[in-house]
């Protein structure tokens, strides 16, 4: 991509945010996880550029931060939030040392919260990642590390499958909010059942 093409893509993000606002949504989330474009620019593994958008971390952050700046303008009063890849779980990929610095810049640039995740489509199928993903709260340590680096709320996800476990994660200061995906696919009434003390009735997602 040339710089004019990059600028045009940044504008596409802003245009999408404007449509989100016009449609009446409550917020805009930028997806910088799972190896999507925002993550590809940030990652030292996929970003092999030698210009102002590649090389040092400050350059690799530039695309995402420019997207965030322009999206915030287009979104107007809507909160803009960021789904952030904390660790690619690849030996030459993005890791916490850099993603913590990036999270700090996201917070400084005005995100309302950061939703933390680990792994990409290239690492999800690795044996060690598959094994890790079957454990309770397998991304919680990433959220805790990012939370310690920023002054905005952080969302943790990844097999936070019981109310007790989720409550403990918040109480211990590892996260501010809980993100639910497969938990809700398995049982859409999970939040209500947790609230009503009916955890024994929850239909849980099979980790296999």
Per-residue pLDDT reduced to its tens digit, 69-86: 999 999 999 999 999 999
Element of type H or E holding 117: strand 114-118
Structure tokens at 175: 């996260």
The pLDDT assigned to 205 comes to: 83
Is pLDDT of 98 > 80? Answer: yes
Per-residue pLDDT reduced to its tens digit, 44-71: 999 999 999 999 999 999 999 999 999 9
Per-residue pLDDT reduced to its tens digit, 16-35: 999 999 999 999 999 999 99
- Residues serving a catalytic function are 36
Q: Looking up tokens 């695309």, which residue turns up?
A: 63
What contacts 49, CB < 8 A, 6 or more positions away? Answer: 55, 59
> Under DSSP, is residue 173 helix (H, G, I), strand (E, B) or coil?
coil
Is pLDDT of 105 > 80? Answer: yes
Band of pLDDT at residue 208, cut at 50, 70 and 90: low
Is pLDDT of 126 > 90? Answer: yes
Q: How far apart are CA 5 and CA 10, in angstroms?
A: 9
Enter the pTM of the model: 0.94
Q: How far apart are CA 156 and CA 115, in angstroms?
A: 6
The pLDDT assigned to 160 comes to: 93
């Amino acid at each position: 991509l040339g710089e004019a093409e990059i600028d045009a893509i940044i504008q596409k993000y802003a245009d999408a945010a404007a449509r989100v606002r016009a449609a009446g949504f409550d917020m805009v989330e930028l997806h910088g996880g799972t190896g999507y474009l925002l993550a590809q620019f940030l990652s030292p593994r996929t970003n092999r550029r030698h210009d102002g958008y590649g090389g040092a971390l400050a350059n690799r952050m530039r695309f995402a931060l420019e997207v965030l700046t322009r999206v915030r303008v287009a979104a107007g009063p809507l909160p803009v939030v960021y789904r952030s890849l904390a660790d690619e779980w690849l030996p030459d990929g993005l890791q916490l040392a850099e993603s913590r610095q990036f999270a700090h810049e996201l917070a400084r640039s005005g995100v309302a919260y950061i939703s933390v995740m680990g792994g990409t489509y290239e690492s999800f199928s690795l044996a060690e990642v598959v094994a890790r993903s079957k454990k309770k709260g397998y991304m919680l340590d990433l959220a805790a590390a990012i939370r310690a680096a920023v002054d905005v709320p952080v969302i943790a996800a990844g097999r936070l499958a019981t109310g007790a476990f989720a409550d403990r994660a918040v109480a211990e200061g590892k996260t501010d909010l809980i993100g639910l995906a497969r938990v809700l696919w398995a049982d859409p009434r999970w939040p209500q059942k947790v609230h009503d003390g009916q955890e024994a009735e929850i239909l849980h997602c099979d980790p296999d």
